[in-house]
Chains A and B, each alone.
Chain A
Amino acid sequence: MSLRRLILAAVLSALVLAGAAYAQPKNGVVRPSGETKLPPRELGSQLYAGNCSACHGIDGSGQRTPRKTTEGIEGQGPSLRGVGARSVDFYLRTGYMPISEPDEQPVRRRPLFSDLEIRALVDYVSSLPPPGPPIPKPHPERGNLAEGYELFTENCAGCHQVAAQGGVTTGARVPPLTDASAVQIAQSVRIGPYLMPRFSERQISDEELDSIIAYAELAAKEPVDEGGWGIGHLGPITEGMVTWYFAAVVLVLVCLMIGRRLRA
């Protein structure tokens, strides 16, 4: 009976651990009242003060050493001076910002701000001097798929996987590009969010970037699955799962149908 108790204890502790891992700190957004009535820049300024300034500084020049705010957040973060609409739009529309801890990896999720709020924040932060780059306007339809494939393999596949399904590096998870829009791919190539390298126009021209986006969108969103169900475009891992969870199970069932089962 101690065996049963042992198993129970193991299951319980596993549940407790799993619960602890999922208990995320609350991430509420502070909103001014009567948002729609405020002029965009004023709305942006107020949203910034309430939601961003703890880490990025009240004037947008960053917070180099951790500083405890009144809400108990250990605020720390880079300067936003000169990052431009390109960065602000990217980080907010991907849901990358805000994060709850300064050392947390931003991951894609539903944006915490509404479209109106994002536009206001982009307007406000990009108005802080010096001026920064605008939101890019890529033209993937002008791109060349073969050139895009080559550039993607050389510069992106090491992290994002050759079929753009995401991956891992030692410091971070790498997102798949299945949810990334053309604009977001263009933004991230130029910005280099989190641990991603930052590719300038000198290294990858805007024309080359169009080709990369054309290929990435094909690979991630409309892959050519000539052979049937694509099972994630990951190769052997999902293939092994189909082998065991489908084929082996079906064939064992056939064996069970044909052969005798031993009565205990």
Chain B
Amino acid sequence: MIRRTVNFLDSRTGAVPFLRKSLRYIFPDHWSFLLGEIAMYAFIVLVATGVYLTLFFEPSLAETTYTGSYKPLQGLAMSEAYRSAVELSFDIPSGLLMRQTHHWASNIFVAAILMHLLRVFFTGAFRKPREITWVIGLLMLFATLLEGYLGYSMIDDLLSGIGLAIGYGVALSLPVVGANLTLGLWGGPFPGDPAFESRMYVAHVFLLPILIGTLMAGHLALVASRHHAQFKATKRATERKLVGMPAFPAQVPRSLALMFATVAVLFLLGGLVQINPIWQWGPFEVSQGTNGAQPDWYLGWLIGSLRLVPGFDVTIGDYTLIPNPFWGGALFPLVVMAVLGAWPWLERRFGGVRGFHNILDRPRDVPGRTAFGFAFFTWVALIFLAGSADRATVFFGLDYESQVVFFRGAVIVAPIVAFFVTRRICRELKRGEEIGVDKERAEEEAEEEAQEAEREKEPAPA
């Protein structure tokens, strides 16, 4: 049966030699190599649930009146987009489960990408020959941020409208071209042409998913072509020899298990933990706002940076060179992306790291990179934290203005401290190991000597 199928396939497609290689493709075994897979499985859930949602969501700003089952909105004027999203949540069986699972999947998609990125950074997996894979991954991350933003923005609830207003402000703030670009995209001053909703929709359900899918395919193809990097987990693993489990039968059931586990976690959250209860936010109107409006977590670093920048516009006469939101909303993410994107080449240029690298570093073995990475991600993480300072005020009673002052200082001081502390810790760990190795070797030698001495004492066999 197996042989007949294989023969059928081979003679029609000629694909069996390739299949033969794929079955025995080697996956080095380490738990941290699975983080990127979680992202891929979340993406699959996003596509599947997303397609379901398009069957019901109506991306239109045409005004209508709500008559569904959520009482506080009954009789209110709202857009078709918002009405259909609320109806999907209340009056379509399993609609809310799919919507919530879709939203949780987006949050976890980005979280998994970030964890994967950190693993790749701190183990040096981005080094030659894998720089393009790294850059594609970064592009994917930023495409995903935009994809997520558009996803919750097109619902036209109060939170999404506020998010769009801020996006509009940041887009306007781009020097020289901001106003033109923004008017073009929105079709006019905020809230823009009604067609802007269609523009968000086509980008969210078509353009960006295809872009992300294509990038993902390229990312995986490059990984497969150069093979996985590996830790020096055994003596046999070297720069030239890859040691691990074959795709089949060892890796496939494990990866599928991870896929099913990811899907299970997403549906469990989708069913049990409420996410973005749009009916509680109400429909968006330009003249209304709410306290504590926040973007999804993966854009939290941008609200933090927008809030921390002191209030000034850079002007030359009547020409506004740099409007304020540019610093936090545009320059900051661009700097983060540029530093990460250029990192493999920076490290080659200034760190003297050349040649091929299939063996991964342990973070402690490269104190310079690890320390820089900690400093850099501390910087981003603190700005991210600053974005929730208003809630810290509500929960812990910390004065908001003092927190802003604190964070303004901390984002400068803490990365420097993190750099030196991390470097020190790496070096101490290394030294500890070396002492341990020396000790082991000395003990072994001592033992050998003792044994030899014993042997000498023993009378020679007759």
Contact B72 A248 (CB under 8 A): no
Set of chain B residues within 8 Å of A251, measured between Cβ atoms: 38, 108, 112, 261-262, 265
Mask of A163-178 contacts with B, CB within 8 angstroms, 1/0: 1011111100110100
Q: Interface with A: B134-142, B218-226, B270-278, B348-356, which one?
A: B270-278
A193 to B284, CA, bound (A): 29
Contact B265 A259 (CB under 8 A): no
Q: Interface with A: B8-16, B28-36, B323-331, B440-448, which one?
A: B28-36
Interface residues of A in 150-169 (CB under 8 A from B): 150, 153-154, 157-163, 165-169
Contact A160 B291 (CB under 8 A): yes
Closest beta carbon of chain A to B289's beta carbon, Å: 5
User: Which secondary structure dominates chain B's binding surface?
Assistant: helix
Contact B265 A233 (CB under 8 A): no
Contact B290 A157 (CB under 8 A): yes
Q: Interface with A: B49-57, B73-81, B125-133, B203-211, which one?
A: B73-81
For chain B, which range describes its interface: under 10, 10 to 19, 20 to 34, or 35 or more residues? 35 or more
Mask of B73-96 contacts with A, CB within 8 angstroms, 1/0: 111100000000000011000001
Residue of B nearest to A236 (CB): B294
Q: Is the C-beta of B397 less than 8 angstroms from some C-beta in chain A?
A: yes
Q: Is the C-beta of B45 less than 8 angstroms from some C-beta in chain A?
A: no
* Contacts A149-B73, A236-B300, A258-B254; A166 near B277 (Cβ below 8 A): no
A154 to B75, CA, bound (A): 17
Q: Is the C-beta of A240 less than 8 angstroms from some C-beta in chain B?
A: yes
A231 to B276, CA, bound (A): 10
Closest beta carbon of chain A to B158's beta carbon, Å: 6
Contact B72 A243 (CB under 8 A): no
Q: Interface with B: A29-37, A62-70, A127-135, A215-223, which one?
A: A215-223
Q: Is the C-beta of B400 less than 8 angstroms from some C-beta in chain A?
A: yes
* Contacts A153-B282, A225-B274, A255-B258; A239 near B73 (Cβ below 8 A): no
Contact A236 B296 (CB under 8 A): yes
Q: Interface with A: B168-176, B189-197, B369-377, B387-395, which one?
A: B387-395
User: Which secondary structure dominates chain A's binding surface?
Assistant: helix
Set of chain B residues within 8 Å of A168, measured between Cβ atoms: 291-292, 390, 393-394, 400
Q: Is the C-beta of B297 less than 8 angstroms from some C-beta in chain A?
A: yes
Q: Is the C-beta of A228 less than 8 angstroms from some C-beta in chain B?
A: yes
Mask of B92-111 contacts with A, CB within 8 angstroms, 1/0: 00001000100110011001
Set of chain B residues within 8 Å of A230, measured between Cβ atoms: 274, 277
Residue of A nearest to B389 (CB): A168
* Contacts A157-B290, A228-B272; A233 near B107 (Cβ below 8 A): no
Closest beta carbon of chain A to B67's beta carbon, Å: 11
Q: Is the C-beta of B279 less than 8 angstroms from some C-beta in chain A?
A: yes
A236 to B275, CA, bound (A): 8
A66 to B273, CA, bound (A): 52
Set of chain B residues within 8 Å of A163, measured between Cβ atoms: 277, 280-281
Set of chain B residues within 8 Å of A240, measured between Cβ atoms: 107, 296-297, 300
Q: Is the C-beta of B339 less than 8 angstroms from some C-beta in chain A?
A: no
Contact A153 B274 (CB under 8 A): no
Q: Is the C-beta of B59 less than 8 angstroms from some C-beta in chain A?
A: no
Residue of A nearest to B35 (CB): A255
Residue of B nearest to A7 (CB): B421
Q: Is the C-beta of B379 less than 8 angstroms from some C-beta in chain A?
A: no
Contact A173 B394 (CB under 8 A): yes
Residues of A whose CB lies within 8 Å of any CB of B are 3, 107, 145-146, 148-150, 153-154, 157-163, 165-170, 173-174, 176, 215, 218-219, 223-231, 233-237, 239-240, 242-244, 246-248, 250-252, 254-256, 258-262, 264
Residues of B whose CB lies within 8 Å of any CB of A are 29-35, 38, 70-76, 89-90, 96, 100, 103-104, 107-108, 111-112, 115, 158-159, 231, 233, 254, 257-258, 261-262, 265-266, 269, 271-277, 279-282, 287-297, 300, 362, 388, 390-391, 393-394, 397, 400-401, 421, 424-425, 428, 433
Task: Give 10 pairs: A residue, B residue, CB < 8 Å, sorted on A.
Answer: A153-B290, A162-B280, A163-B280, A226-B277, A227-B89, A236-B296, A239-B103, A240-B296, A243-B107, A254-B261
